[in-house]
Amino acid sequence: MVRAIARRQVWVSWRDSSAFGVTIALVILFVIFSILHPSFLTPRNLWNLAISISTLGLTAAGVTLILLVGMLDVSTEAVLATSSVVLAFLITTIGLPPLVGIVGAIAVGCGIGVINGLISVRFRINPIITTLATLAIFTGVAQFASGMKQIVIDAPRGSLLWTFGFGSLFGIPVQVLVVVFVYVLLWFVLRYTRFGRNIYVVGGNPQGANLIGLNVAKYRFIAFVIMGATAGIASVLISARALNGWAGAGQGYLFGAITAVVLGGTSLTGGRGGAWETLLAVLLLGTLTNGLNLLQVHPYWQGVASGALLLLAVSVELLRNRYLRRRLEEE
């Protein structure tokens, strides 16, 4: 009896979460694409699908955290560009070992996160303005430093960078393992640590968090730094896959990441959302892109569709909020 009630509650909470709609959409897409195109469900295509979403997945993990604390960061593409150029610069131009390059790229991501955090949190400048400015500055820095050219990285088969780009472990691509690791970490921290639970408090009710003695500024600052770090790791994955570093490495990722996070039901005003929901939505977006590419839908149409999809996701989220609030009032 107790177990039945518990099972029912799990069902209800899942039904009410945004993951419900995303899962259904994902299943429908899988069915449609496997009917429309014979090669969709082949292991080779699924392998490609998994790799193609890994970068977006990493960026979206950072965006989830930023939105949870009630901030927004639009400088992600600049972080990806700068980290990618720095990675190639350290390895190719200076000739340092790949490990140093990777650490350097992630450190640059953290550094930009620190700048964003300092200005938005310490000086209380609107985070959108701050990150809009750092977006321009660091895109410029990346373009300036690379001379608008792609810097080729020489990574022989078996080297560390090559492993990040093309290697696999137990038949699973290393890129996917990195993403899964980051998401498990994010999920664990958000759900089972005091720090993670406080993030929800800070995002959901900043004044209240201040009153109960939480240092709101600290949590927001840390979220910016982690956002930078995940973008740094994402740029390592991009560069390892493309085997070059260039200022255009991040194009389009911010838009995809924000769409995924909103689709996953993370609230734009902070305090609601989670790691798994975002990962599911990333999977949905990746499947959509992969399937549309297989069906040879033109990228321009995909661009228009992605804008419409983001609008749809936000509207559904708003309607769901209204519905939930009304039901809460009835109870």
Partner 1 sequence: MKREGVVMYEGTTALDTVAAQEACPPREEPSRNWWALLSDMPQIGLLIMLAVLVLFFALTTPTFLTFRNLAILAGSISMIGIVAAAMTLVIIGGNLDLSVAGIIALTSMVVANLIVGWQWSEGASVVAGVLVGLVVGVLNGFLVAQLGINSVIATLATYSIARWSAYLLGTKGRSIPLGYAEERPFFDSIGQGTVLGVPVPFLIMVVILTAIWLFLTWTRFGREFLAVGGNSLAALLTGISVRRYTFFAFALTGLCAGICGVIFASRLAGGYPGGAMGWELDIIAAVFLGGTSLTGGQGSILGTLLGVIIIGSLRNGMALLGIDITAQNIATGSVLLLAVLYDRLRRGGTEL
What are the residues binding partner 1 (CB under 8 A)? 72, 74, 119, 121-126, 128-130, 132-137, 139-141, 143-144, 148, 216-217, 255, 258, 262, 268-269, 300-304, 306-308, 310-311, 314-315, 318
* Residue placing its CB nearer to partner 1 in the complex, 77 or 244: 77
Cβ at position 5, least distance to partner 1 in Å: 36
**Nearer residue to partner 1 within complex by CB, 269 or 296:** 269
Least Å distance, CB 75 to partner 1, is: 10
Q: Which is nearer to partner 1, 96 or 217 (CB)?
A: 217
Give the list of residues 6+ apart from residue 159 with CB closer than 8 angstroms, or none. Answer: 98
State which residue, 140 or 167, has the beta carbon closest to partner 1: 140
**Helix or strand (DSSP H, E) at 226:** helix 216-242
Question: Measuring CA to CA, which residue among 261, 223, 217 is closest to residue 56?
Answer: 261
Q: Tell me the closest approach of the beta carbon of residue 104 to partner 1, in angstroms.
A: 21
Q: How far is the CB of 330 from partner 1 (least distance, A)?
A: 22
Contact 148, 247 (CB under 8 A): yes
Of 14 and 144, nearer to partner 1 (C-beta) is 144
Minimum CB–partner distance for residue 142 and partner 1 (Å): 8
Query: How many Å apart are CA 10 and CA 29, to the nearest integer?
Result: 25
E strands, the chain, in order: 151-152, 168-169, 172-173, 244-245
In whole angstroms, give the CA distance from residue 151 to residue 131: 26
Q: Quote the CA–CA distance of 133 and 153 in Å, as a whole number.
A: 29
CA 38 to chain centre: 30
Least distance from C-beta 263 to partner 1, angstroms?
Answer: 11
Of residues 50 and 313, the one with the C-beta less far from partner 1? 313
* C-alpha distance from residue 146 to each of 134, 151, 196, 228 (Å): 18, 7, 38, 20
Shortest distance in whole angstroms from residue 160 CB to partner 1: 31
In angstroms, what is the minimal distance from the CB of 300 to partner 1? 5
Kindly tell me which of 47 and 255 has the beta carbon lying closer to partner 1.
255
Residue type, 30: F
* 191/322 with CB nearer partner 1: 322
| DSSP at 39 | T
Residue 209's alpha-carbon distances to 10, 125, 172, in angstroms, are: 28, 20, 42
The 3-state DSSP class for residue 168 equals strand
What is the DSSP code string of 56-103? HHHHHHHHHHHHHTT-----HHHHHHHHHHHHHIIIIII---HHHHHH
